[in-house]
Amino acid sequence: MRERQMRADMATSPNTTISASTGTTTDRSTRSRHGALGTSALRPDGLPKAQGRFAFSSDAWADNMLWGATLRSPHPYARIVRIDTSGALAINGVSAVVTADDVPGKLTYGLIASDQPVFARDYVRYAGEPVAAVAADHPETARRALEAIVVDYEVLTPLTDAEAAIDLTRAAIHPDGNVIRRQRIVRGDQHLVGEIVVEGTYEIGMQDQAFLGLEAALALPDDDGHGVELFVATQWLHEDQKQIAACLNLDPSRVRLTLGGVGGAFGGREDISLQVHCCLLALVTKRPIKMQYGREESFYGHIHRHPATIFMRHHADRDGTLRRVESRLVLDGGAYASTSSAVLINAVTHVQGPYRCENATVDGYAVRTNNPPCGAMRGFGVVQACFAHESQMDKLAAACGLSPVDIRLKNAMRTGDKLITGQVVESVAPVERCIRETAALPMPEALAVAPDPLEIPGGSGLTAQRANIRRGVGWGVSIKNLMYSEGFDDYATARCHLANGVATLQFATAEVGQGFVVLAQQIARSVLGVDTVLLEPISTDIGSAGSTSASRQTWMSGGAVDGACRLVRERLFAAVAGQHGLDPLRLAIDGTDVVDTLGSLRISVTDASRGLSFDETFEHHHRKTEELDENGQGNCHVAFAFVAHRAVVDVDPELGLVKVVQVATAQDVGRVLNPLAAIGQIEGGIAQGLGLAVMEEIVLRDGKMRNPSFTDYLLPTALDAPDVIATMIEEPEPQAPLGAKGIGEPPCISVTPAIVAAIRAATGRELPRTPVRPYDIVFGP
């Protein structure tokens, strides 16, 4: 078992521990070759991105193209009485206006349930819902055209309270009803009352993915009008293809997608946004169509993290042993289902946290309201559950007279323990190690007597006084499922070609910034002993890779690339063995050579593959999962990863200002495949969790967004970034093809409750809600 420590803090000496920063010093495995697995291989798209040469989807351009734009509902709930597009069509430079009447196929789409209209036809159900789209010669012409479309609405009273949506006596706002899904978990003793009982109701605000690269696509119509090619930033090309083809009434083979460069995703590109609109306009106008959202439209155009209200009651023995959890969860799914039902399942099945607990009574709802639709965001339901269970663990610790660390160690889950769903945790589960190793990381220095204003809460613009600032420390620990759940056959495909010592890989795995492109190259280098690994364009020309989400691509597409490379290696060995009269099972790759492990043959892979060509495709499937029964019992998840976070904050309680000073973390990663990429995921996830803790929230009033802009929706800046100290715990996961667990989501999950707990410790406030606002600190209970 190895581990790496990485310091990412700026404020202190950079050479205290091993640093991921140089990109050269982190590789401890002496045998691994430059660019192979385990090294900080550099991403192939890095330099093009740094030089501005990398083509993002918004950079796509075609001769003769038109600009598409979308008309959206200003009302959260209204009946459409009439749409008059003639004014827009009369504008010089406008080529087409389309509405629901122009959709040739299925009128709705959706990831799990097809319940979201391509364009609203009879009702609009959220403010920002698409009603029509135009194609014009210039973005400004398109904007004027949208203004010229007349829509008469009969405005209705919106349903904006998630709790009210559960009330079955209320009129449904959608034919599918107001409750998207309800799931209970009933396990063990339903009447157990602990010696110690603590409870609370917790609220999580609506967070936005806020990926930097706005939604954009270019659609090119086929000459015969029966097909279209789309360059788009998405997380799952084949799912888009399926949904677009159905809405356009085209054969899926006639809808060809190529990944346009993706400027971040974080769940916000799992659902269809402009895909169908853009393709439809291309088919109608027979011209290339470029569509690109601005930032405000992006807030309307993609789903968000579910706001949630979670009641929890924990029962424990006097010594702190957790005996039973009770919980009621209500997730506001907004107007359309998106992935709400899966988000709900994640929330209810993770509500015990990474702790042993035999008895549970859980009731969860995902409901439909006239608020903006919610769906996938990094952490996917577990973020919400974690904020509640970690807040509870601190209450339990206080009630039992234990420290936050000791209560967690006492109950820490281990491999072989059962979840409240009855599922046995077969994954490596180093929860105790995560906690202990986080606790062993150094604490930050005390705030200087005369700190730079930039280092105190609020920064230089605000007026926190050094004497008022209080420091607090808080903890969070989490469990996160990896891959898709509930019986979904979640596979990934990859192809490998080898000739003359050069490997070429093909896959449809969406590269959204996470770095799968470099990981795929590393795998091929390690398995095949090649140095040069070329990558085909990421497109629907090959089978599905599934979604870049659920921390799944290292495991799934990594497994597929590994499998394809191994098949090619077998054929290479067979060829070499045939030439030399050897048993191919004696052959192995050593560095860049094929070697006979029992003899003296050594031949470079380049020579061995000269004049030959091997081409293999592999599909990786993970083990089967099951659906939950009505009591929430069943093996619904594939595998789990764990992480601990310790946050240190400085707070000015009188002004309600917070500065997150340091976050220490130990993460269960299975195996580090690329230290530089791994630390990037950890630091990036921590920043997003910090955002949810202290600043990020879409504020709604009567169903309307109050802050759909970067001026009003605040994101962490360089000055908000805490020092991060990370330890990666390497206990290879036997189930995982490369021994590595997905690492994308865990960093952002328990850091939020850790920061909020630290603010509680500094202020004594209850703070049952995240993000914590200055008002909550100054005036809260």
Contacting positions for ligand FES (CB under 6 A): 212, 264, 513
DSSP 471: E
Which option in other proteins, ligand FES, none does residue 717 bind, with CB closer than 5 to 8 A by kind?
Answer: other proteins
Q: Which does 105 bind (CB under 5 to 8 A by kind): other proteins, ligand FES, none?
A: none
Residue 746 contact, options other proteins, ligand FES, none, Cβ 5-8 Å cut-off depending on partner type: none
DSSP code of residue 207? P
Interacting stretch for other proteins, rule CB under 8 A, among 125-133, 204-212, 367-375, 765-773?
A: 204-212
Look at residue 560 and give its three-state secondary structure: helix
Q: Which stretch binds other proteins (CB under 8 A): 15-23, 274-282, 328-336, 391-399?
A: 15-23
HSE-up (13 A, CA, CB side) for residue 294: 9
Q: What single-letter DSSP state applies at residue 349?
A: H
Segment near other proteins (CB under 8 A), from 313-321, 426-434, 565-573, 708-716?
Answer: 708-716
How many CA atoms are closer than 13 Å to the CA of 291, on its beta-carbon side?
29
Decide whether 227 or 684 has the Cβ nearer to ligand FES: 684
Phi, psi (deg, nearest 5) at residue 753: -60, -30
Q: What residues from 496 to 525 belong to the interface with other proteins (CB under 8 A)?
A: 512-515
Question: Rounded CA gap, 457 and 12, in Å?
Answer: 19
Residues 205-224 that bind other proteins (CB under 8 A): 210-214
Q: How many CA atoms lie within 13 A of 603 on its CB side?
A: 18
Q: Work out what residue 321 binds among ligand FES, other proteins, none; the CB cut-off runs from 5 to 8 Å by kind.
A: none
C-alpha 443: how far from chain center: 29
Q: Which candidate, 401, 321, 320, 393, places its Cα nearest to that of 351?
A: 393
Among 599, 717, 764, 779, binds other proteins (CB under 8 A): 717
Q: How do strand 289-292 and strand 216-221 relate by DSSP bridges?
A: antiparallel
CB of 79 to ligand FES, least distance (A): 37
CB of 395 to other proteins, least distance (A): 29
Q: What residues between 425 and 464 interact with other proteins by CB under 8 A?
A: 452, 454-455
- Using the rule CB under 8 A, give the single segment among 31-39, 102-110, 247-255, 677-685 that binds other proteins: 677-685
Our CB check for other proteins shows the closer of 45 and 222 to be: 45
DSSP readout, 363-377? EEEEE--SSPPEE--
Q: Which of 54, 405, 534, 580 binds other proteins (CB under 8 A)?
A: 54
CB of 398 within 8 A of CB of 407? Answer: no
Q: How far is the CB of 142 from ligand FES (least distance, A)?
A: 19
How far apart, in whole angstroms, are the C-alpha atoms of residue 123 and residue 80?
A: 6
Of residues 209 and 339, the one with the C-beta less far from other proteins:
209
679 makes contact with other proteins (CB under 8 A): yes
- Per CB under 8 A, the list member of 14, 225, 442, 591 interacting with other proteins is 14
Cα(162)–Cα(179) distance, rounded to whole angstroms?
A: 10
Helix (H) or strand (E) holding 240: helix 237-248
Comparison of 289 and 608: residue with beta carbon closer to other proteins: 289
Pairwise CA distance, residues 714 & 696, whole Å: 6
Q: Which is nearer to other proteins, 58 or 370 (CB)?
A: 58
Rounded Cα distance between 699 and 690, Å, is: 18
Please, what is the minimum distance in Å from the beta carbon of residue 774 to ligand FES?
26
**Measured from the CB of residue 748, what is the shortest distance to other proteins in angstroms?**
10
Distance CA 253, CA 23 (A): 42
Beta strands at 228-232 and 255-259: parallel, antiparallel or unpaired: parallel
Task: State the residues that interact with other proteins by CB under 8 A.
Answer: 8, 10-11, 14, 19-23, 40, 42-43, 45-47, 49-56, 58-59, 61, 138-140, 210-214, 261-264, 266, 294-295, 452, 454-455, 512-515, 676-677, 679-680, 682-688, 709-711, 715-719, 721, 724
